[in-house]
Amino acid sequence: MPSARELVNRFSDTQTFPHVAIRVNELARSETSTMRDFEEIIRMDPVLVTRLLRLVNSAYFGLSKKVDSISRAVAFVGMKAVHNLVSVEGIKPFFKEGKDTKGFSRKNLWLHSATVAILGQMIAVRIFGQKGDDVFLAGILHDIGLIVEDQVEGALLRDATNAFQKGQKSMIGCEDEYVGTNHCLVGALLTEEWNLPLDVLDAIRRHHHDIRNDSISGVLSIVQLAEYFASRLKYALVPGRVAPLPSPSLVKHIQEKMADYRIIARDLPGEMAKAKELYELEDG
């Protein structure tokens, strides 16, 4: 069976993260980056220019006057939001390739990842008073390792998914048995090459782990909460399987904040519609 590193190497031979997305990731991590730096990179990609202008002129921002320059758009939206927009555009093609089968669907994975990202940002903002940009990025990328497995060892991944759907072990337990590794390890190795923030990488690597010693308000914890609620709200990775909460501290947290989470669940459809307008997240 292939190792996580072997899977990533074989995937990277045929799939590459766009150069513009890698460069924007680097700028986002630099303390000396300016709006002008982002503007110069975005100009290189006409699709990103179109999407950015559509974003800033959407009802979400409610501006009275249309913005038609990249520099003003970046200033209104903010560098973090631009970073996430570019990252979403960069990974979207990965989810659209390949054949959907009964055992595994990239379209379903895209919708699940988008829901986790949206819920995660809602939780970050409403429960913990954060902006939630890194949570959004971690949510959209947390299962990217499954794309690698599907591209390189699709038959083995479907065996693992079918076993999981039947209730055999956890998803990563089934992957370890049938594929020889799991999407947490694979995803972390892949995204390390993209120079993402460390807390985002950690969430990708450990989102199925017991994290009782981690901060409840951290990116990793919020991604776990978002994945749990996404599966409860019928946006599960595998239909019919609710993602368990691996840490007792998160169970206690939900019990204490249940009223707030009910409101978030109520508001999710509206936020999904808004996110579709901003990022076209629901298109499989």
State mean pLDDT over 31-48: 83
pLDDT in tens, 224-276: 999 999 999 989 888 778 877 778 889 999 999 999 999 999 999 988 887 77
Chain mean position to CA 116: 7
State mean pLDDT over 131-152: 92
Token output for 244: 């368990």
Q: How many alpha carbons lie under 13 Å from residue 219 in its C-beta half-sphere?
A: 23
pLDDT surpasses 80 at 171: yes
User: Tell me, what's the pLDDT at 284?
Assistant: 46
Token output for 62: 């409610």
pLDDT surpasses 60 at 282: no
pLDDT band, very low/low/confident/very high, at 121 (cuts 50, 70, 90) = very high
Instruction: In whole angstroms, give the CA distance from residue 149 to residue 186.
Output: 8
User: Tell me, what's the pLDDT at 101?
Assistant: 64
pLDDT band, very low/low/confident/very high, at 5 (cuts 50, 70, 90) = very high
Between CA 168 and CA 5, with CA 214 as vertex, the angle to 5 degrees is: 55
User: Tell me, what's the pLDDT at 278?
Assistant: 62
Task: Judge whether 184 and 208 are in contact, CB under 8 Å.
Answer: yes
Instruction: In whole angstroms, give the CA distance from residue 251 to residue 130.
Output: 21
User: Tell me, what's the pLDDT at 188?
Assistant: 95
Instruction: In whole angstroms, give the CA distance from residue 211 to residue 22.
Output: 29
Using alpha carbons, select from 207, 97, 110 the residue that is nearest to residue 152: 97
Start-to-end C-alpha separation, the chain: 30
Q: Which CATH class is domain 4-279?
A: mainly alpha
Using alpha carbons, select from 120, 142, 141 the residue that is nearest to residue 131: 120
State mean pLDDT over 145-160: 93
User: Tell me, what's the pLDDT at 99?
Assistant: 63
Angle between helix 258-279 and helix 219-232 axes, rounded to 10 deg: 90
pLDDT surpasses 80 at 114: yes
Instruction: In whole angstroms, give the CA distance from residue 211 to residue 138.
Output: 16
pLDDT surpasses 60 at 283: no
User: Tell me, what's the pLDDT at 173?
Assistant: 94
User: Tell me, what's the pLDDT at 281?
Assistant: 59
Q: If you average pLDDT over every residue of the chain, what do you get?
A: 86
pLDDT in tens, 54-97: 878 877 777 888 988 888 888 888 877 787 888 888 888 888 76
State mean pLDDT over 166-178: 90
Instruction: Parse the chain into domains and list their residue ranges.
Output: 4-279
Chain mean position to CA 76: 23
Amino acid at 277: E
Chain mean position to CA 219: 12
User: Tell me, what's the pLDDT at 102?
Assistant: 65
User: Tell me, what's the pLDDT at 40?
Assistant: 86
